[in-house]
């Protein structure tokens, strides 16, 4: 099943599945957005817009998603924000280099088929000195996690990968530095990570 089809089918129930469970983790990650000034922020993989009500109104936001069904839901959550919805692919962002001051990657790196390319594309469109806010499920380097690895081939075909090791992804994307890495949910399986573009 293609990613586009999976998330088109999931759109009506997505909020029930992941909304309440990750609200506090989303809020904590987004609280680290710049507190002063006015920034251009990319919400890469905006999905149904669960992040949008938690965002400070002072910034300009672009929400990108692969599916029209998810974007339609996100627009309804953007009240009070300067928000533009863009249909596009996280693996080939339709933006110029250094177009954004910050980017948000919540629950997307383990969804896309190529996490390295998605992170590299996000880094490309963030200006030097800008930040990338990541929230997702990651294995630790060397972590065996036999059940997750066993279920991964099925889960990856339906909605998400369970075998992504963030450190392996980061090692293939030069020019990024970790400024924060902490547990976010599910006993640390989900992590909140902040990166600075050098």
- H or E stretch at 2: none
- Average pLDDT value for residue range 166-176: 97
- Average pLDDT value for residue range 88-101: 98
- Average pLDDT value for residue range 25-44: 93
User: What pLDDT score does 36 carry?
Assistant: 84
State pLDDT tens for residues 136-146: 999 888 878 66
Mean pLDDT (the chain, rounded) = 88
**Which residue range(s) make up the domain with 55?**
3-197
Residue 9: pLDDT band by 50, 70, 90 thresholds? low
Identify the CA nearest to 132 among candidates 54, 42, 40, 194.
Answer: 194
User: Percent of the chain having pLDDT more than 70?
Assistant: 82
DSSP letters, 53-107, are: GGS-TTSEEEEEES-HHHHHHHHHT-TTSEEEEEE-BTTB-SS-TT-EEEEEEES
Residue 16: pLDDT band by 50, 70, 90 thresholds? low
**Total domain count, the chain:** 1
User: What pLDDT score does 148 carry?
Assistant: 65
User: What pLDDT score does 58 carry?
Assistant: 95
- Average pLDDT value for residue range 25-32: 93
Residue 120: pLDDT band by 50, 70, 90 thresholds? very high
- 100-106 vs 40-44, strand pairing mode: parallel
Which residues does 195 contact at the CB level (< 8 Å), separation at least 6? 123, 131, 132, 134, 170, 176, 177, 178, 179
CATH of the domain at 101: 3.40.50.150
- Average pLDDT value for residue range 21-29: 88
């Amino acid at each position: 099943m293609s990613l586009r089809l999976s998330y088109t089918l999931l759109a009506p129930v997505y909020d029930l599945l992941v909304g309440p469970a990750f609200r506090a983790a989303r809020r904590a990650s987004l609280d680290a957005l710049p507190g002063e000034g006015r920034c251009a922020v990319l919400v890469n993989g905006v999905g149904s817009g669960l992040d949008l009500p938690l965002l400070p109104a002072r910034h300009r936001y672009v929400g990108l998603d692969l599916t029209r069904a998810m974007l339609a839901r996100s627009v309804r959550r953007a009240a009070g924000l300067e928000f533009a919805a863009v249909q596009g692919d996280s693996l080939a962002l339709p933006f110029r280099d250094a177009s954004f001051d910050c980017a948000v990657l919540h629950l997307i790196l383990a969804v896309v088929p190529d996490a390295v390319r998605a992170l590299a594309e996000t880094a490309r469109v963030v200006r030097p000195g800008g930040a990338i806010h990541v929230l997702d499920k990651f294995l630790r380097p060397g972590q065996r996690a036999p059940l997750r690895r066993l279920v991964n081939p099925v889960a990856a075909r339906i909605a998400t990968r369970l075998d992504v090791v963030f450190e392996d992804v980061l090692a293939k994307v030069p020019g990024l530095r970790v400024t924060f890495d902490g547990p976010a949910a599910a006993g640390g399986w989900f992590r909140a990570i902040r990166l600075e573009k050098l």
